[in-house]
Amino acid sequence: MNERVTVIAHIHARPGQEQEVKEALLGLCGPTRAEHGCINYDLHQSPSDPALFVFHENWASKSDLDAHSQSAHLQAWRKRAAELLVEPTQVTLWSKIG
């Protein structure tokens, strides 16, 4: 069975790159929200540390998430991420239980 999947992605911008990272991440929202199976794709920024971002995503299925991972806009972001981030994005998958 291919069930709904939740993604939490932690992103840490390099010092001085916070605004550029924010703009790049906001640029992912429109195309991603239009993808098949995207239930929500919400970007958050820490109020106490503007270098920290979190995506909270819900996908109708793992296969929809896998297709998102191969999208052109996400691939383009990944090429830029190494120069803009302190560390690779930390992505975890979750299943809703309640």
Domain encompassing residue 52: 5-94
Look at residue 92 in the predicted model and tell me its pLDDT: 98
Q: How far apart are CA 28 and CA 7, in angstroms?
A: 15
Residue 98: pLDDT band by 50, 70, 90 thresholds? confident
The per-residue pLDDT for range 48-89, each reduced to its tens digit, is 999 999 999 999 999 999 999 999 999 999 999 999 999 999
pTM of the model: 0.94
Look at residue 24 in the predicted model and tell me its pLDDT: 98
- The pLDDT of residue 2 is above 90: no
CATH of the domain at 48: 3.30.70.100
User: What is the token pair recorded at 67?
Assistant: 């297709």
Q: How far apart are CA 79 and CA 98, in angstroms?
A: 37
How many structural domains compose the chain?
Answer: 1
Residue carrying structure tokens 């790159």: 17
User: pLDDT above 70 covers what percent of the chain?
Assistant: 98
